[in-house]
Amino acid sequence: MEVKLLSSVFGLSPISSERVTATRLRTHRVRAINSLAPKTHVGVRRIIEYQNGAATIMKVVEKSPYSEAETASSDLHKSLSDFLEEARDFVGGDDDGPPRWFSPLECSSRAQGSPLLLFVPGIDGTGLGLIRHHKKLGEVFDVWCLHIPVRDRTPAKDLVKLIERTVRSENYRFPNRPIYLVGESIGACLALDVAARNPNIDLALILANPATHVNYFMSQPLVGMLNVLPDGVPTLLEDLFVLYCFLWYNTGDPLAAMLDALTNELAVHQMSGVGGGILKDLFAVSAHLPTLSRIFPKDTLLWKVELLKSAVASANTHIYAARAETLILLSGRDQWLLNEDDINRYSRTLPKCIVRKLKDNGHFLLFEEGVDLVSIIKYTCFYRRGKSHDHISDYIMPTRYELKKQLDDHKLLIDATSPVYLSTLANGKLVRGLEGLPSEGPVLYVGYHMLLGLELGPMITQVLKERNIHLRGMAHPMLFINSEVTFVDTQLLDKYKILGGVPVSNFNMYKLLQSNSHVLLYPGGIREALHRKGEEYKLFWPEQQEFVRVASKFGAKIVPFGVVGEDDICKLVLDGDDQRNIPILKQFMEEATKQAGNLREGDETELGNQDCYIPGLVPKIPGRFYYYFGKPIETAGKEQELKDKDKAQEFYLQVKSEVEQCIDYLKMKRESDPYRHLLPRMMYQASHGFSSEIPTFDL
């Protein structure tokens, strides 16, 4: 296959077959390589038994790749400084010729069947706007980036046609594969135009700070200064002016931005001992003024402003014809090209639109720390390989760093409660740790839901860390609502999606067990998680044996488990009954219940009429969480037997009884735990080290 490679130090391969006339481009013949996803190398854990003083290795257990997630480094290592470094070689000399596509070599490790992602750049035109995300995006997408040379003067309508030709060509080649259009600023306008012109092609738009309007109060002075700037201005003065324009474009007020950066960065430095963020980027930009001057010479800047105006006008005119599902990433500190009223209009006009607000970020959010595009796609369930998102087949496992972020989010709860995990071996022996959990699926974990699901985060992360078992939790569909008009901030629900939550339904449970997954099910659901006063540790299971037959069809093991500890960390003082007597809270509760929907339509019991509300809690000096996983119950070979309704009901009640026994055992045994309360645990760790495992009651 003959392709054109840019002569640069970082290896980018154009995909476009269009004729290129630039003197710095060379044509090479390269061999197509079938890339494989990198393998994860894991260690081993030896279980040793001592007999008569002699050590015997009983078995060797593979060590989880997540076992040291706390020390994981960020998945994204490049920054604005790296962008400017590589852009220097990318646009060096005479960067001319027509616009063209290239695929970064960092994106070569994609999995088979990955969807196509076309990146349309912003005002810089280099196509390197996703440089921080190339490696991670390349594992799940086939990434192409559009490069618009500095001297190119292709009007907006022709750029749209160029992108459209590529979209139609790739859709013809792979009609069942979605095409993602990622546009930044001006590029977002072009992507919207392409979607409007092709409503029948399966497109997914990701628009990063789309240029919805031009702030003439800020742009006209810049254009005026550019027009009066002499062509022969000294290089240093021109560089400084470009820096000023760059900062104005990013923040709207360079001086205020620098003062804000200084105060914020000093605060960060005082708290964490490290610097970064805006101040770091300001220094990076200052160190690369000549590169900025090559990317934005005077005539190019003037042309970009005109390109911006025409692109914005065209997108605003044609947006009503767009039918693509859309994810809008909206910065809270972009003051030039964004207007929240326009974004609200976009979200109402586009049929399937998600708006994700990043309130602490500026205009160039794809370069900023803390913004991980792949993680955001996971959080919003926006990744798919087919016509619609499949929560099972389209799910992407968390990286070690993503798990670290979840551990950090739950660190206070985990450290305060020092969870104790008990499991039961196949021979019935109770052991501390999770060794008793079955390694091979399908497995169905059935248990008790604590208030607000407080047990979920510590449990799922610990099972993943210790055993490399990924629990796919069956969750209420309201956790997957991306609308802003919800009774809770949707970004608080990110953890359920990144950790593998799936909307609860018989069909999804069927598919998970069919794929040999480890499935987490709470039959009591939201009724247990939002229980009333005096109802802690009481099971609210439906009368029907809903999960028994599905589990038996695939011979899944059923692991009953119980968890206690909610009454040791908080006291419920305002439950649903109390809130119904307070008019304001009653109205809020009714609206929340309406948004959540009814999963048990037609059920006349209280399970079919569960209210959604935010309970009023008073914290306590934290006690301890205890988890007890019972002996796995086999269903293999019982499919025919459990088709009988009475037999299935008997089996169902057996599982429920096992869960109740787990809870009763923990409630009894915790009374004899000398480290149940916080002070003894703190004293133990002070003398044995804060990473030491704290003892518990005798088993």
Asked whether the predicted pLDDT for residue 670 surpasses 90, the reply is: yes
Q: What is the mean pLDDT of the chain?
A: 81
Range of 79-93, 259-273, 631-645 with top mean pLDDT: 631-645
Q: How far is CA 454 from CA 5, 66, 448, 577, in A?
A: 53, 22, 11, 21
The HSE-up count of residue 430 (CA atoms within 13 Å, CB side) is 14
Residue 335's pLDDT band (cuts 50, 70, 90)? low
- Cis before 290? omega within 30: no
Lowest mean pLDDT segment, chosen from 121-130, 333-342, 430-439, 469-478: 333-342
Type of residue numbered 91: V
Amino acid occupying residue 673: D
pLDDT-derived band at 25 (thresholds 50, 70, 90) equals very low
Predicted confidence (pLDDT) per residue in 494-514, tens digit? 899 999 999 999 999 999 999
Q: Which of 26-30, 204-208, 378-382, 673-677 has the lowest mean pLDDT?
A: 26-30
Global pTM value: 0.84
pLDDT grade for 267, boundaries at 50, 70 and 90: very low
| Size (the chain), residues | 699
Q: Looking at per-residue confidence, does 188 or 237 come out higher?
A: 188
* Amino acid (1-letter code) at residue 287: A
339-359 average pLDDT score = 83
Q: Which of 453, 472, 476, 445 is nearest to 600 (CA)?
A: 476
pLDDT band at 228 (very low <50, low <70, confident <90, very high): low
Q: Residue range 554-577: average pLDDT?
A: 95
Distance CA 564, CA 385 (A): 40
Hunting for tokens 């006349």 — which residue is that? 604
Helices (H), 115-253: 134-137, 156-173, 186-197, 216-228, 235-251
What is the average per-residue pLDDT within 108-121? 89
Q: Between these two residues, 372 and 11, which has the higher pLDDT value?
A: 372
Whole-number pLDDT of residue 5:
41
The contacts of residue 39 (CB under 8 Å, 6+ apart) are: none
Q: In terms of C-beta density within 10 A (0-12 exposed, 13-18 middle, 19 or more buried), how is residue 656 classed?
A: middle
- pLDDT for 557: 96
- pLDDT band at 220, cuts 50/70/90? low
Say yes or no to pLDDT of 20 above 60. Answer: no
